[in-house]
Structure 1
Amino acid sequence: MASTPTIQGKFVHGSTMRHVINMTATGSIGLIAVFLVDVLNLLYISQLGKAELAAAIGYASTLLFFHTSIGIGLSIATTATVSRAIGSGDISLAKQLAASSLFLIAGISVSLIILTYPFLASLLQLLGAQGETARLAQRFCVIVLPSLPLLSLGMGLSGLLRAAGDGKLAMYVTLGAAAATAILDPLFIFSFGLGLDGAAYANICARLVLMSIGCYGVFKVHHLYARPDHAVFVRGAKAFANIGIPAILTNVATPFGNAAVTSVIAKYGDQAVAGWAVISRLIPMAFAGLFALSGAIGPILGQNLGAKRYDRLRSTMRDSLQLTLIYVLVVWFLLAICSQLIARAFDAQGVAAEVITFFCMFVAGSFLFNGSLFVANAAFNNLGYPLYSTALNWGRSTLGVIPFVWFGGLWFGARGVIAGYGLGVVFFGAAGVWLCFRVLRKLEASEQT
């Protein structure tokens, strides 16, 4: 019989840079796979030869991204609460908090479905979808939306694996979902002739795989689950809410900003929206390392906060920012030299091709500040200052998006919208880093007094 793995705070010892790189690498592989098949999904839809289909995917994805962002916020709360308990050495509490988190995620996800369904048409119209494009987008959402609990629980389970320090198994959770999508997408879309509906059904199947592998890792491998008593559940719910609500608000800000971009760029026609849809999928795939980094440092910070290792908190932040700089420079260079190839791969014409190549050559560099903001937000969420990340992200997604994309579009057309999207993040990325190190100094000073 296999022995039960011992859960311990592995991040409170050893090189912080090694932990950051290892957790980011495993997270990146899984995320790149997920985002790659998402790009392939759009590529398949584009090959059906109907511009409205690609635009419909763009509108539907913008709306569904709100729900995905809520799921990410819930997983952040899960990782933060459980990793702190592991770092402090209280494994029994960690298991009960893990169970409490999963109960809360399931309840919130089901409630969101009930609240969203009656307003799908109105919400898509608010984003700028009209006519046949709006009808197709709504059809896609109707099919995919009921699988939201599968996605949210899958992300929560992956968060628990990261909290336990098992980045490799957390990677397999996302890799499995990506593999399912890669296999089923062309099968459903082309072989079964289901088109847009096929993409939706493949999406649901992938979420089933996501949750199934996550359950195996948490319940069978790490046994990171114990039925919580009432006192622990209440305590966990309060901690979950204190981190989860600001984290949800923080993550919802990003699709809000994307929705603002979609709404403005819709004025330039379906081609411009199709180009933005490509960019929206290119961003998470190209910059998966940054998204993985923000998730990777959460459990590292959480465990070291629980162990009160403030020196390791500072070094984790410095290492993360250095990694951000190197990563963005490499990806920006690759996107710039491949910009024309990327546009041709999606059969982008006219305005669509213009905005794609413009983003790759110029705007992609702004992700140095986006990445810095991601890192700072992860720190705030795990260090007990989640409202800071909420304020910064909403500032970026409102003041750092709406006026920039509006004036950019007014002066330079569709390319100006994309330029405004990149310029608006500069101030908020720099402010996030400064504020983060200020918080670290404050935490250490309070511990010494």
Structure 2
Amino acid sequence: MTSTPTIHGKFVQGSTMRHVINMTATGSIGLIAVFLVDVLNLLYISQLGKPELAAAIGYASTLLFFHTSIAIGLSIATTATVSRAIGSGDNELARQFAGTSLILIAVISVFLTIITYPLLDSLLTLLGAQSETASLAKRFCQFVLPSIPLISVGMGLSALLRALGDGKGAMYVTLGAAFATAILDPLFIFSLNLGLDGAAFANVLARLVLVSIGAYSIFLSHRFYSKPEPAVFRRGAKAFATIGIPAILTNVATPVGNAAVTSVIAKYGDQAVAGWAVVSRLIPMAFAGLFALSGAVGPILGQNLGAKRFDRLRSTMRDSLKLTLIYVLIVWFLLAIFSHLIARAFDAQGVAADVIVFFCVFVAGSFLFNGSLFVANAAFNNLGYPLYSTMLNWGRSTLGVIPFVWFGGLWFGARGVIAGYGLGVVLFGIAGVYLCFRVLGKLEQQALNH
């Protein structure tokens, strides 16, 4: 019988900046691959020459993003719960918490998928989809929705790898799924002439690849799983819920904000929606480093909190914010230079091209504040203050989106909607960073008093 490998908290020593950069870099590569494939998917559909197909993908993605956001929330809870156990040095507890997390993720995602299926018509109508565009969006969702548990469990497995400090392993999980989609997308859409259905089939098969690679890494490579005992399962579920419920609420806020933008921009026609569909795919690909950074910070903070290394918590946050500033400035510069090229690549014309170029040149810089908010939210989730991230994200996605895009649209049309989307985040980004350092000060004070 093979012995179970010993787990070490690798983030409790060494340079915090090095850990932040390494984890962000490996996370970015995987995420960029996933988002690039998502952009290619829309690019292929755009090549079919029917604007309603691109608009249908936009509506379907907005709806499916709710489920992906819940899966992200569950994976945040997984990383926070398990990385703390690793940092404290209790290997068996960490393994049983890993088992608890995967069971909870599977059950929750299956339940939510079953609930959503009969409501597709109503939800798409609520987003502003009409006539043929609505029926195409519904068809796409009907194919892809049953695979939501696969992506949820896949994200959970990837979160466990990050909690262990295996950034490369987590990267291979997402890279594998991205490569599968890159190969299958053109095959199904063009070679087999399946169009929108082909994009949906490729999506589902890629998620099977995601789960397979993650399962191999966790169960066979790291052997990081133990069947949880009832008492440990209850304890793990409580810890998971304490972080998971606010984290889910936090993440669901983002698609609520996106849905608000979609419904307001829908007033300017399918071209404007198609332009926003390109922008909403461009955002995760261009700013994948920020999404990866928020995922990278979690296990580093979690392990150091478990080890009670408060000095390293503060330096991790400072290093993360420095990285955010440098990254956003570089990406904004590149997007501004290539804005017209990006619009042409998607065969965008008129209002669609205007929306894309305006975002790249003017609005992309607002991601300095978005990135700061991502990092602050990751800190709150892993330091035991998840409700702070819930309040900030909901504030951003409601007060920081709805009035801004509504008045922006009223005064400046489709461009104004995009400008409002960017402006609304500024105050919340600043508030997030301020609160985060307040929380770190509070934790340090509590440590000194005990």
Q: Report TM bin, short chain.
A: over 0.9
Asked if residue 9 in structure 1 is aligned to residue 15 in structure 2, the reply is no
Aligned to 1:261: 261
Asked if residue 307 in structure 1 is aligned to residue 307 in structure 2, the reply is yes
Check the 8 A contact 1:4/1:221 in 2, yes or no. no
Structure 1 position 355, deviation (Å): 0.5
Aligned to 1:368: 368
Aligned to 2:388: 388
Structure 1 distance, partners of 2:337, 2:225, is 48
Aligned to 1:178: 178
Check the 8 A contact 1:5/1:221 in 2, yes or no. no
Check the 8 A contact 1:260/1:401 in 2, yes or no. yes
Asked if residue 246 in structure 1 is aligned to residue 246 in structure 2, the reply is yes
Which runs of no fewer than 5 residues in structure 1 stay unpaired?
A: none
Check the 8 A contact 1:99/1:226 in 2, yes or no. yes
Aligned to 2:342: 342
Aligned to 1:282: 282
Letter in 1 for 2:248: I
Aligned to 1:413: 413
Check the 8 A contact 1:180/1:206 in 2, yes or no. yes
Structure 2 distance, partners of 1:49, 1:345, is 13
Structure 2 distance, partners of 1:132, 1:400, is 32
Aligned to 2:154: 154
- Normalised by the length of structure 1, the TM-score is 0.99
Aligned to 1:42: 42
Structure 1 position 2, deviation (Å): 8.5
Structure 1 position 5, deviation (Å): 4.0
> Percent of aligned positions with the same letter in both sequences?
84
Which runs of no fewer than 5 residues in structure 2 stay unpaired?
A: none
Structure 1 position 6, deviation (Å): 2.9
Aligned to 1:138: 138
Check the 8 A contact 1:96/1:227 in 2, yes or no. yes
Check the 8 A contact 2:161/2:218 in 1, yes or no. yes
What SS does the corresponding residue of 1:14 show, helix, strand or coil?
Answer: coil
Structure 1 position 447, deviation (Å): 1.4
Report the count of equivalent residues: 449
Aligned to 1:333: 333
Letter in 2 for 1:282: L
Aligned to 1:273: 273
CA separation of 1:151/1:309 partners in 2, compared to 1, >3 Å: closer, same or farther? Answer: same
Structure 1 position 3, deviation (Å): 7.2
Structure 1 position 395, deviation (Å): 0.0
Letter in 2 for 1:356: I
- Normalised by the length of structure 2, the TM-score is 0.99
1:377-408 C-alpha deviation (Å, 9 max, x unpaired): 00000000000000000000000000000000
Structure 1 position 118, deviation (Å): 1.0
Letter in 2 for 1:176: G
Structure 1 distance, partners of 2:141, 2:79, is 29
Structure 1 position 114, deviation (Å): 1.1
Structure 2 distance, partners of 1:147, 1:327, is 33
Aligned to 1:118: 118
Check the 8 A contact 2:265/2:414 in 1, yes or no. yes
Aligned to 1:218: 218
Structure 1 position 229, deviation (Å): 0.5
Check the 8 A contact 1:165/1:299 in 2, yes or no. yes
Check the 8 A contact 1:7/1:222 in 2, yes or no. no
Structure 2 distance, partners of 1:3, 1:172, is 25
The residue correspondences of 1:185-224 to structure 2 (distance < 5 A) are 185-224=185-224
Structure 2 distance, partners of 1:333, 1:21, is 21
Check the 8 A contact 1:120/1:138 in 2, yes or no. yes
Letter in 1 for 2:234: V
1:161-203 C-alpha deviation (Å, 9 max, x unpaired): 0000000010000000000000000000000110000000000
Aligned to 1:379: 379
Structure 2 distance, partners of 1:176, 1:35, is 13
Aligned to 1:67: 67
Check the 8 A contact 2:6/2:91 in 1, yes or no. no
The alignment's C-alpha RMSD in Å is: 0.8
Structure 1 position 448, deviation (Å): 1.2
Structure 1 distance, partners of 2:7, 2:197, is 43
